[in-house]
Amino acid sequence: MRYVIIGTGAAGIAAVEAIRSVERGAEIIMLGDDPHGFYSRPGLAYFLTGELSDKTLFPKTREDYKRLGFIYRKARVTRILRDETSLQLDDNSLLTYDRLLIATGAAASPLTVPGANLQGVVKLDHLNDARHILKLAKRGRTAIVVGGGITALELAEGLRARGMHVHYLLRGDRYWSSVLDEHESRIIEARLQEEGITLHFHSELREIIGKSGQVNSVRLKNGQTLKCSLLAYAIGIQPRVELARDAGLATERGILVNEFMQTNDPGIYAAGDVAQVYDPISGHSILDSLWGVAREQGDAAGLNMAGQAQPYIKSMPFNITRLAGLTTTIIGAVGHGRDDDLIGIARGDSETWRELPNAIVAQSGFDINRVRILVGENKLIGAVVMGDQTLSMPLQRIIANQMDISPMREALLTRDAKIADVVVDFWSNLKSEK
């Protein structure tokens, strides 16, 4: 049996590990077009700031790969020939497969404004992008950053850490409004300003203006012009579905797979940022773009490819990240994505708690230690923990396991409740009961 995996990212590697855990003798071939193979893409942000060297981005050693015993080929797959169960590679050679995994990830959405192809317009997708940015980042020069999520913020901080003057353009009236509430956005914005980053709200690019092929300034939709020598953007990602779509596999935004990570062709699977996975609980097909999810999906895909019927069960959304130097855990449903009403009502609300139609927002904290909990009927729905992470682990468990919170619900919802103390008490009592 020959297993072929396209993509050397988190999903691809997890699939190799899973296949090898059940199929000791099978042939596994991994194909990838990134010259650096498998490395930590989340780590690229810390490489940009200079906190991590590029060596530390590689989580696996030569021995690890040897132990897994697979064949790695640096190649770009140009076509999937389903009738012949084979792949065409960029050197025009063909490679047959018995089971195929497409783990091609997602790429940064392109900028489409005039001037986007000038030298000095950069994105942060791969290690080569990060190296390119570092070459162009010149102390004392000016950079413009565009985009509203984590990657844009990482670009702004990375360029600032390299001594550039950074102007950060935000389309709306605050940072990351789809996930953070207003208070949380303001905390991050204040910290960015303290770092010396200039924020521009309600600002959108109209065009990038060059001089001798090199970015020289930008014009905004409000008519303002800003000089710069670098423009970095992170305005979203696009799953790399082209191979699957051209081969006639079912796709929407991602490659559609069932809960066994199988496409509409039973010999072909997909996992990671490129996969849109059917969730039997909600009845929807869901796209994720998180490292941990890619690993879990790759693991499930590998086991299924090797004949172990292993449905992928979507775990609760969870991301631990650093925003403007502040460790932040985002657990469960906290923003627009899951519940528009919730964010609509919490936004701009200065009270410590407020009843909502089907959930209650309870908040506490000041400055950099802040907890926001979304309280449902008898369980917690989501939480944001900023700064002190003491509550992060208990909240993850309480939310993931959908624990009955009735013993603390009333205390949580008391006006001016000390949420941290209430959760810690609840958690300690639970542990002592065990």
| Binding-site ranges for ligand FAD (CB under 6 A) | 6-12, 31-34, 41-42, 44-45, 76-77, 103-105, 124-125, 151, 154, 240, 243, 272-273, 289-292, 294, 319, 321
What is the SS3 assignment for 18? Answer: helix
Residue with Cβ nearer ligand FAD (4 or 383) = 4
DSSP state of 50: T
Instruction: Report whether 304 contacts 310 (CB < 8 A).
Output: yes
Token pair listed for 226: 């800003």
Residue with Cβ nearer ligand FAD (103 or 121) = 103
Distance of alpha carbon 411 from alpha carbon 425, whole angstroms: 11
For the bound state, the minimum distance from the C-beta of residue 83 to ligand FAD, rounded and expressed in Å, comes to 19
For the bound state, the minimum distance from the C-beta of residue 290 to ligand FAD, rounded and expressed in Å, comes to 4
Distance of alpha carbon 372 from alpha carbon 329, whole angstroms: 11
Residue with Cβ nearer ligand FAD (181 or 296) = 296
For the bound state, the minimum distance from the C-beta of residue 385 to ligand FAD, rounded and expressed in Å, comes to 15
Residue with tokens 């192809």: 117
For the bound state, the minimum distance from the C-beta of residue 434 to ligand FAD, rounded and expressed in Å, comes to 31
Distance of alpha carbon 327 from alpha carbon 320, whole angstroms: 7
Residue with tokens 């205390």: 411
Strands 71-74 and 27-32: parallel
For the bound state, the minimum distance from the C-beta of residue 291 to ligand FAD, rounded and expressed in Å, comes to 4
Residue with Cβ nearer ligand FAD (104 or 396) = 104
Q: How many CB atoms lie within 10 A of CB 237?
A: 17
Residue with Cβ nearer ligand FAD (207 or 259) = 259
For the bound state, the minimum distance from the C-beta of residue 6 to ligand FAD, rounded and expressed in Å, comes to 5
The order of strands in the sheet holding 360-366 is 318-323, 326-332, 380-386, 369-375, 360-366, 353-355
Residue with Cβ nearer ligand FAD (105 or 365) = 105
Token pair listed for 136: 């162009």
Residue with Cβ nearer ligand FAD (154 or 157) = 154
Biggest alpha carbon–alpha carbon distance for the chain: 71
Residue with Cβ nearer ligand FAD (243 or 359) = 243
Residue with tokens 């020959």: 2
Residue with Cβ nearer ligand FAD (36 or 219) = 36
For the bound state, the minimum distance from the C-beta of residue 144 to ligand FAD, rounded and expressed in Å, comes to 18
19: left (phi over 0), alpha (psi -120 to 50) or beta: alpha
Distance of alpha carbon 355 from alpha carbon 69, whole angstroms: 56
For the bound state, the minimum distance from the C-beta of residue 209 to ligand FAD, rounded and expressed in Å, comes to 27
Distance of alpha carbon 190 from alpha carbon 195, whole angstroms: 9
Q: How many CB atoms lie within 10 A of CB 286?
A: 14
For the bound state, the minimum distance from the C-beta of residue 320 to ligand FAD, rounded and expressed in Å, comes to 8
